[in-house]
Chain A
Amino acid sequence: MLNVDLAVIGGGPAGLAAALEARKNGIEKVLILERDKELGGILQQCIHNGFGLHYFGEELTGPEYAERFVEQVEEQGIPYKCDTMVLHLSRDRTITAINRTDGLMKIKAKAVVLAMGCRERTRGALNIPGSRPAGIYTAGTAQRFVNMDGYLPGRKVVILGSGDIGLIMARRLTLEGAEVRMVCELLPYSGGLNRNIVQCLEDYQIPLKLSHTVTNIFGKERLEGVTVAQVDSSRQPIRETEEYVPCDTLLLSVGLIPENELSREAGVPLDRLTSGPIVKETMETCVEGIFACGNVVHVHDLVDFVTRESITAGRCAAEYIRKQKDAGSVPGEDRKTGGSAQDQNKDVAAEAGCQSDGIQTVASDGIKYVVPQYAGRGEHPEGLKLFFRVDGIYRNVRIAVQCDDHEIYSVRKRKVAPGEMETLTLKPELLGDLNTCSELRVELVSQDK
């Protein structure tokens, strides 16, 4: 058994920032576990620029952004293990992991940061009918083939979904000499960042077909074509608009799902709206000593915000470890790990724990989700930062925060869209009487859609 103070699962931007921040806050025994052959996570294949504008105030490529953190990890001498897969995490923070040189390891941590990121939604999740030929990839898989392995996956490409990776890949494949026929988006608006629509599609005259979807897939061995149709207001294809588009490649950029299999095994309660762990503003989950940050919590558009959130997780995990040390107890030792059936009940119990020590944040009218889901009842010397997404495109709206039925904050926005994560900070003075609150509701008012 390897004993550490803090184990960080995932060496992407979230894990790196959390590990560094914990070290800055005096935690010596930190260990980062990364399944890929190098640190940096998905940033390593994002060779385009646009990273770091918020956090560093300059424009970096993905690998450059990652490198700034990797260098610090090296300088600080924070241990990490690459090519290492975590197989299991238990509630008492015992990690089972394997790699080629250490074999199977058990790691006992005083605190854990979950930073596993997210995965892409697939064709199966969409249930696109048709055959199953080669040439259908998620945008991220295609990105890896092109940017990491140096292969062109196809020459005539249709992209379904206007998520950011899809938009980026439209440009990337065009630059590699492929012909990107179109990007189809089921919704009447794009889920990607506006800057990507301009820089990746408009600049290359790639049509963005809103309210369109792929209705059938053709080709036995390799993809030969797809049919594309417009959809009605209930998102059902309008048959008369069906059009056959010859192509050898279909890229899917239809959403990202936080990767929470380990969290589930550890009995960490998840939020159905975000598919990520329910967290307090310290980024602690409802299971004591297990923190989470980055895309494993909720899918971000900008890595800069991942970094900020992860710094909070690292700092608070450090504080948690210090408190436990001061109190002279080894957290979690008294607990036993249960079977999965028991764990399910523990989920509920754990969430009740979250509820009893915090004020729940609630996504109300026009808001898809709010993170963190719980705010502590104590002092908030630095204020309380809320991250959220709206559920549609709205113009000239006011976003309000209600403490029960009492509005404590509001801000006007010219335009909000689901593709861009919103954030607001409640200043400490606003939070004075939070203790009397039963919930903090975020909502859109005076909307005109």
Chain B
Amino acid sequence: MVYDAAVIGAGVTGAFIARELSRYQLNVCLLEKEEDVAMGTTKANSAIVHAGYDAKHGTLKSLLNVRGNALMEQVTRELGVPFKRIGSLVLAFNEEDRSVLEQLYQNGIQNKVPGLRLLNAKETVAMEPNVSHRVVGSLYAPTAGITCPYELALGAVENAVQNGVDLKRDCRVLDIRKEKSMEKGQENFVLTTEQGEIRASYVVNAAGVYGEIVSEMVQERSFTIHPRKGEYLLLDKSQGNLVHSVIFQTPTKMGKGVLVTPTVDGNLLTGPTSLDVSEKDDVGTTAEGLEKVRKEAGKSVPELPFRDVITSFVGLRATPDTGDFIIEASGTVKGFLNVVGIESPGLTAAPAIGEYAVDLLKKEGLPLVPRGDFQSVRKPIVRFREQTDEEKQRLIRENPLYGNVICRCETITEGEIVDSIRRPAGARSLDGVKRRTRAGMGRCQGGFCTPRVAAILARELRIPEEKVTKKGKGSELLVEKRGSSC
């Protein structure tokens, strides 16, 4: 068969394009090289829904940022994903910073960002008592917020799958060529993948840091995407109240600097560093990087308790050489759409990018006939710990698996873990379960629940426990089954 459209890359960008396409009477496939969705840039970033004052007025970034921010409430409600509009502050520590804030403010006004206000030092400290008292002023953006990036992507993918999109994981695209279509009497693409050949009339390149590689499979290089590494530290929930909004420093040309923010799950996040790297899978943290985060974050919030760090991680931004998102149909190869260079504010923009990209496909000739049965709502995994006592009681009555706590730090039950495996685009690895349920994300970082989650995965996937992986093939947790010790 020939798909109407193939989307390459199931990060948050590809996820929203696939979801948007699933509104129409189309056969769509979503191809992901990793064992799970949201494994690249989407997995590790600041999780901020930006207000939109930062992106230069007139760029695609500025347009899609503000539109994405405005869509976020509805989208997260439909997809059952956490989102909190907690506002943000950009801190200025000297007059030079303050003039940058003034420019950001003016830029934001042009971008039509609602509610922006320049605050003086006193107002800033009144709003966030734990920020450095060296602050001389700040830019307050009430529409900024926080979400969970991989949950947002997962929500969009699950919803797309619910609406008929074929998700293929472990399906790296190796080559793309054109052929005369047997069925339709016109040209279509043939994608050579790890799972054989896949045919599609339209191809969307949403391959993140691999975007230039995929693009080069069909056309001359017209841009470069290089990975820019950012290191983060995540602190325990006991510190989640240290600040109540997203605290930025005045931006430089390397990015928005090190921020300090609560997460939707109540932890405190700080980072990122910003370092251009050559490897597209260089996700190792470094002693220098983490030290830099500590030092820089301390400028904003001096009393950060780094002994409460529970984990550190690296994210790679897909930084384009053009300075703006590259969302355009190929000038030379009909039916091929690049959606690349989606660095910050890509997470915020994702729902708007979905709309924008599908609109471009329409202009390229993809017929969009709405489906009558599109389901916009995705039912999320129940968060047992957030339920009332009565609701908990009801859940356990209906399914006793909810009465069995597997991850004790985050109070994640067996019911939630089984749901995360069985649902559409379900988890197939320890990390997959972790991203969907938070099992293993707490202060003991999986020390307690790892053997238990592994056993549930083995049972649900009907595989031997020694085949259970952390994050796909090659990452098996155990090397050998011994004789039973009992």
Contacts and interface: CB of A to CB of B under 8 A. Distances in A.
Contacts of A248: 479
B112 interface: no
A98 B484 CA distance: 30
Interface stretch (B143-151, B172-180, B244-252, B306-314): B306-314
B480 interface: yes
B397 interface: yes
Interface of B: 233-234, 281, 283-287, 289-290, 307, 309-313, 385, 389, 392-393, 396-397, 400-405, 408-409, 411, 443-448, 450-451, 455, 465-466, 469-486
B450 A129 contact: no
Contacts of B400: 100-101
A147 interface: yes
Given A87-B411, A103-B396, A131-B284, A221 B485 contact: no
B285 A150 contact: no
A133 interface: yes
Contacts of B307: 125
Contact of A127 (B312, B446, B480): B312
Contact of A100 (B401, B411, B444): B401
Contact of B290 (A127, A134, A137, A222): A127
B312 A124 contact: yes
Contact of B479 (A150, A153, A221): A153
A100 B287 contact: no
A145 interface: yes
Given A119-B444, A129-B284, 4 more contacts: A100-B401, A103-B393, A124-B309, A127-B285
Contact of A149 (B233, B451, B474, B479): B451
B473 A221 contact: yes
A135 B370 CA distance: 48
Nearest to B282: A131
A212 B469 CA distance: 30
Contacts of B283: 131-132
Interface string A94-138: 001011111110100000000000011011110101111111011
16 contacts: A85-B408, A87-B411, A99-B403, A119-B447, A123-B311, A123-B445, A124-B310, A127-B290, A134-B476, A135-B477, A138-B447, A141-B451, A146-B482, A149-B485, A221-B469, A222-B476
Given A101-B403, A103-B396, A150 B309 contact: no
Contacts of A155: 479
B290 A129 contact: yes
Contact of A152 (B309, B405, B479): B479
Given A145-B451, A215-B287, A150 B403 contact: no
Interface in A137-163: 137-138, 140-141, 144-155
A86 B438 CA distance: 19
B414 to A, nearest CB: 9
Interface centre among A102, A104, A137 (most CB of B within 10 A): A104
A83 interface: yes
Contacts of B483: 150
B310 A129 contact: no
Contacts of A217: 284
Interface string A181-222: 000000000000000000000000000000000011110111
B475 A122 contact: no
A103 B484 contact: no
Contacts of A147: 485
B485 A148 contact: yes
Contact of B478 (A100, A130, A145): A145
B229 to A, nearest CB: 12
A176 interface: yes
A134 B482 contact: no
The interface size bin for chain A is 35 or more
A362 B481 CA distance: 50
A244 to B, nearest CB: 14
A300 interface: no
Interface string A210-236: 000001111011100000000000000
Contacts of B310: 122, 124-125
A171 interface: no
Contacts of A104: 389, 392-393, 396
Given A125-B309, A127-B312, A144-B451, A133 B445 contact: no
A261 to B, nearest CB: 8
Contacts of B289: 129
Given A101-B403, A124-B309, A130 B285 contact: yes
A254 B312 CA distance: 17
A103 B399 CA distance: 10
B485 A98 contact: no
A150 B486 CA distance: 8
Nearest to B35: A221
A132 B445 CA distance: 12
B309 A35 contact: no
B385 to A, nearest CB: 8
A50 B173 CA distance: 57
A138 B284 CA distance: 20
Interface centre among B396, B400, B479 (most CB of A within 10 A): B479
Nearest to B235: A124
B455 A149 contact: yes
A294 B470 CA distance: 34
A367 to B, nearest CB: 21
A222 B284 contact: no
A152 B404 contact: no
A219 B473 CA distance: 13
A134 B469 contact: yes
A154 B478 CA distance: 6
Given A129-B290, A137-B450, A145-B451, A152 B313 contact: no
B155 to A, nearest CB: 24
Nearest to B286: A129
B396 A98 contact: yes
A151 B480 contact: yes
B481 A151 contact: yes
A81 to B, nearest CB: 11
Contacts of A261: 409
Contacts of B392: 98, 103-104
B298 to A, nearest CB: 15
B444 A120 contact: yes
B327 to A, nearest CB: 30
B405 A85 contact: yes
Given A125-B310, A152-B482, A153-B479, A221 B403 contact: no
Nearest to B485: A150
Contact of A150 (B313, B397, B471, B484): B484
Contact of A129 (B287, B401, B445, B472): B287
Contact of A222 (B465, B475, B482, B485): B475
**A-B interface, 4 closest residue pairs, ranked by CB to CB distance from nearest:** A221-B474, A124-B311, A134-B470, A100-B403
